[in-house]
Structure 1
């Protein structure tokens, strides 16, 4: 009977929601020493490898004090995940993240967002809305002022999302906190109170369902011919190697067009350089550099600066007609790399708005005991002309339509490619 009771107690422990911090993989409970070892590894790895401390207001030593003091009180997986989330948020870097989350964790920015806002003259203003998602469907438009988020005034809603170690809260920290607040978490439906034309409106982007929790696409890409101009839109698939064959066959089918539009405005999850170089390689006839990498950790350790140029090689059947690349806030990471690459190659006109401005290239690490993974930028990335990738803006900036009825960037790119001088 005693054995049965012990077994039932053990089974109940496994089934309890938010079981102890190691329960992510149902391994035996971590000891306080193991949790501390994980936190120490987490903090030290970031301290030695994160490559953007110089542009942050983060006091990383203070982060160790603040969150290290909380480790002894950790008794559940949820508590440990939240502690790590909060510590990582001190970097206010949306290219850094954990590979695990909780039901009330914030959605990823920009992958899990459908609205982008920034402060203009002190007011939080919508600057872009993601086409086809809840925010657009309920009428949110560029130019609207965000007044409250889930009935909480914006200034108050931002407070939990601003780091505790910051020497000062700079514009970058406020902007990311604003967009994290607008993204919401994985389980709470959003209610946005906005001001438009002097009137307040209540919008519910997650009704009747939270579309951002179930993002689906009809295919890796979509294409069509607009008069004599070809159009290819990448559906957030730059990390899928199957895109290479799909892109090749699509481009071949559009070989007779007088110009091409490559739409990268929905590539928020980034991708890999194999796919990126495969795409760019179809538009050149000789090898050229497209991106510069810098490795600050090596310089910190040895005092020797290391940087490399990444080369893209031509591939068969190059498309040599004029090319326009469309970008926006949901052009992210590798999408940004392709964009600066085409600009460096002198092969395309870049049109649209600011991109996601993600920092550098990430590397993945794993905690030794809980086995939680995390990613941080470890390489700085640059245009071949030396400009940081995150600072690049389109050659031709196109403001979005505030009424949401016209794709102004697409219309402008078509006009450019159809102009007599371009034929």
Structure 2
């Protein structure tokens, strides 16, 4: 369905503000394509869709490749699609080149890859032709099976991972970049929306490990059944008490605002505080994010910069603005606080990490979920095809793109290490002890 630019811009400016990453924890979007349809004009739908994509995708031109040439190639492929289901499937595969978990076409099908980072427990890093495990999500099927950072993924479902990763970009990219192969390897390691995984790894000791793993969507559902906030107190050898507040993927739940207020009131006597955002892969909203950060400042402070590239593209007039945090009671000393982030910190979780960093809180994190920007939703082909797309670009207050943020203490893996330890938590306790 063709939308006017004014209509969509209004929806962006009024209805979009750091919306959550698509959650993959329910089956409500398991909508199969119609088995029969008439007169589907793939070329016409693509022409409309391409115009909106070019105008509104905030990160279209900064993903490390020629977007115009790539989209021309995508258009040649999808314009020949015989039906809506094939068209949608080809389009969704084409989004992987942008390595952006916030970008995708629906409705989802059982055969689609799981949405990362929400329904994932392995992060893969492609180096020198090999697919290394960069991190393993804590409390996951992969972690319980003994998989650790440094292992090499060799096969998925009895096929070499190199062949499968190349097939993700067949007919679209002749020579995928390392970043694109990272992304493809992570998709393959975490499997499809339906079905378990059969993976073969090579350990650093040279041993082959064949493992059948549960679908990570099961863990995604289990996380949502846990308390939204978990609080822990850790007594240190020097007699200090450190409080840990861990949020379990509820940054889009407005009830978390009062829940976090209550949690803060209970830990005000702590000598130090660790805010653990390593289990927030589905993002959330800015109201929840600002309410959390407000407990760590005693005056109004900026936490994030927004730009809306479509306005400059359409009208040549840029729009750039700063979002601010206001103090919230009770207030805890930011210099006795550490914030943790990792590969399963997504969208608003990433926004809180960079915002806390801007407030002077010590940050410890690996690369995070890299969910780009703030999201909007579009529809096409009589509302039978949906597009989730970042329409705002987001930055640290120092101008660094959110996805390029490097923590005060940067880790390769934040959830687990080769010895099954908790590297981020251990680093935070050492930092607070030294303070």
TM-score for the superposition, normalised by structure 1? 0.86
1:328 paired residue among 342, 356, 362: 342
Give the SS at the match of 1:244: helix
Question: In structure 1, what is the Cα distance between the partners aligned to 2:217 and 2:274?
Answer: 31
Give the SS at the match of 2:306: strand
Greater relative contact order (Cα 8 A, min sep 6): structure 1 or 2?
A: 2
1:1-400 correspondence to structure 2 within 5 Å = 18-20=33-35, 29=37, 31-33=39-41, 37-56=44-63, 57=65, 58=67, 59-70=70-81, 73-74=82-83, 78-162=85-169, 164-166=171-173, 168-196=175-203, 197-206=205-214, 211-212=218-219, 214-216=221-223, 217-227=225-235, 228-320=241-333, 322-346=336-360, 348-400=361-413
Tell me if the contact between 1:137 and 1:205 (Cα under 8 Å) persists in the aligned partners.
no
Cα RMSD for the two superposed structures: 2.2
Q: Provide Cα deviations, 1:197-219, integer angstroms capped at 9, x if missing partner.
A: 11111011218x96246343311
- Alpha-carbon shift at residue 258 of structure 1 (Å): 1.0
Question: In structure 2, what is the Cα distance between the partners aligned to 1:168 and 1:198?
Answer: 29
Q: Provide Cα deviations, 1:24-53, integer angstroms capped at 9, x if missing partner.
A: xxxxx55324x6554433322112111222
Aligned residues: 391
Which residue of 2 is the match for residue 415 of structure 1? Answer: 430
Question: In structure 1, what is the Cα distance between the partners aligned to 2:58 and 2:315?
Answer: 15
Judging changes above 3 Å, is the alpha-carbon distance between structure 1 residues 210 and 109 closer, same or farther for their aligned structure 2 residues?
Answer: closer
Judging changes above 3 Å, is the alpha-carbon distance between structure 1 residues 411 and 80 closer, same or farther for their aligned structure 2 residues?
Answer: same
Bigger Cα displacement from structure 2, 231-240 vs 309-318? 309-318
Judging changes above 3 Å, is the alpha-carbon distance between structure 1 residues 45 and 112 closer, same or farther for their aligned structure 2 residues?
Answer: same
Which residue of 1 is the match for residue 27 of structure 2? Answer: none
Question: In structure 1, what is the Cα distance between the partners aligned to 2:282 and 2:319?
Answer: 28
Tell me if the contact between 2:114 and 2:217 (Cα under 8 Å) persists in the aligned partners.
no
Judging changes above 3 Å, is the alpha-carbon distance between structure 1 residues 274 and 237 closer, same or farther for their aligned structure 2 residues?
Answer: same
Question: In structure 2, what is the Cα distance between the partners aligned to 1:54 and 1:106?
Answer: 25
Higher-Rg member (1/2)? 1
Give the SS at the match of 2:61: helix
Question: In structure 1, what is the Cα distance between the partners aligned to 2:308 and 2:170?
Answer: 26
Give the SS at the match of 1:55: coil
Unaligned 5+ segments in structure 2 are 1-31, 236-240
- Alpha-carbon shift at residue 239 of structure 1 (Å): 0.8
Judging changes above 3 Å, is the alpha-carbon distance between structure 1 residues 379 and 167 closer, same or farther for their aligned structure 2 residues?
Answer: farther
Judging changes above 3 Å, is the alpha-carbon distance between structure 1 residues 54 and 168 closer, same or farther for their aligned structure 2 residues?
Answer: farther
TM-score for the superposition, normalised by structure 2? 0.84
Give the SS at the match of 1:53: coil
Question: In structure 1, what is the Cα distance between the partners aligned to 2:298 and 2:424?
Answer: 28
- Alpha-carbon shift at residue 352 of structure 1 (Å): 2.8
